[in-house]
Structure formats: structure tokens, C-alpha cells
Amino acid sequence: MLLVDTSTTGQTGSGPVWDEVVEYTACADLPRWVRSVEQRCRLDFSLAHRAVRQARHVDLLLAGSGKVGIPLALMRPLRAVVCVVHQVASPLKRILLESLNISGRWSRVGYPCSADPDLLASNYEVPASRLAQFKAAPLEALQAARQDGGSYVLSLGTAFRDYATLLSALQGLSGVVTHLYVSS
């Protein structure tokens, strides 16, 4: 399996499930204007193209988000594509997914939010058999940390997060352990 990583932190090497990773450093040689266009339309065609080229010897592509999963579906690689979708209620994403039947081109659809299966089934007609819950944060680690009696701030979610305000609020709080698990 090839992980197409769209996080800003980047995965390196193989992982517990994937054999290889392709991420933004693979597109470091792109002209600035191309990256600017991709950022404006929120679709990473260059990363998807690199993944398709690199995936000749794997059976499965795991797209870390729709930013690369949508272009992969449009490119119709000769490999199965599993896409982890975020913010499925977004108007732009809805137009793309519905008008181009993108979700029908994915072998499986991963989702992080418990409300997503209903949206994916009703809005995009994705059958339950093709849905899989995806955990973006290691919740077991958070549970274990709670046991030690320390002070913690927990902020979860992907839509409309204001990290600048969160970090500003945390400044000056001594002894508070902070872990940010940022997705999409």
C-alpha cells in the first residue's frame, strides 16, 4: 500500500499498514504558480500524479484526504483507491463529489466523524459496506494520559479550527500538557 500523505507534518518511510509514502516533498520542484493554483482550488493534482507514477508495484493507494483523493479518482489509476474524507458537508466538496460521482470511484471511504456515514450514504449514495471509520488522533494515548492526574486541554475536530486562538490561550499556562492532532 502507498500512503498519499496530505498532512503538513509528513510521514516518513513505511508505517504499520503502508509500505511507502508519497508526500509534499515529492512536489518540491513544482513551479510556484502551479502550487498556488492547487492551493486555491484545494486539490493536489501534482501529488496525485506523483502517487500514480510511484504506485506501479502496489495494490492500493490510501489518500489521506479528498485534496488528493478527488484528483486520484479523476485520474482513474489502475489501483484501488481508499480515501479518508474530511468535511464532507463542504459546499465545494459536495459539488465535486456529486457531479463527478467521485465517491463511486473510491474502493472504500474512510471518515473521522461519527456523523459522516449518514451524510455519505444520503448525499453521495456510498453504501455502508464501503465505509470505514478512521481515527486521526491516537485516542488511547489520550485516555492513558488522563489517568496520571495532570492538567490537560483537549481540542478535537477538523472543521473551522482556530489554532492561533488556542495557542494564544495556552500561553502562560504552566504545567499544562498540550498535544495537537491536526488533520486536513
Does residue 163 share a domain with residue 101?
Answer: no
DSSP H helices in 107-146: 116-124, 139-146
Number of domains in the chain: 2
pLDDT < 50: residue spans in the chain:
184
Residue 169: domain span: 139-177
Domain presence at residue 182 = no
Domain presence at residue 89 = yes
Does residue 128 share a domain with residue 143?
Answer: no
Domain presence at residue 184 = no
Q: Tens of pLDDT along 104-116?
A: 899 999 988 888 8
Mean pLDDT of the residues in the chain: 80
Q: Are 46 and 38 in contact (CB under 8 A)?
A: yes
Q: Tens of pLDDT along 57-87?
A: 888 889 988 999 999 999 988 888 999 988 8
Does residue 41 share a domain with residue 84?
Answer: yes
Helix 66-75 × helix 91-99 angle, to 10°: 20
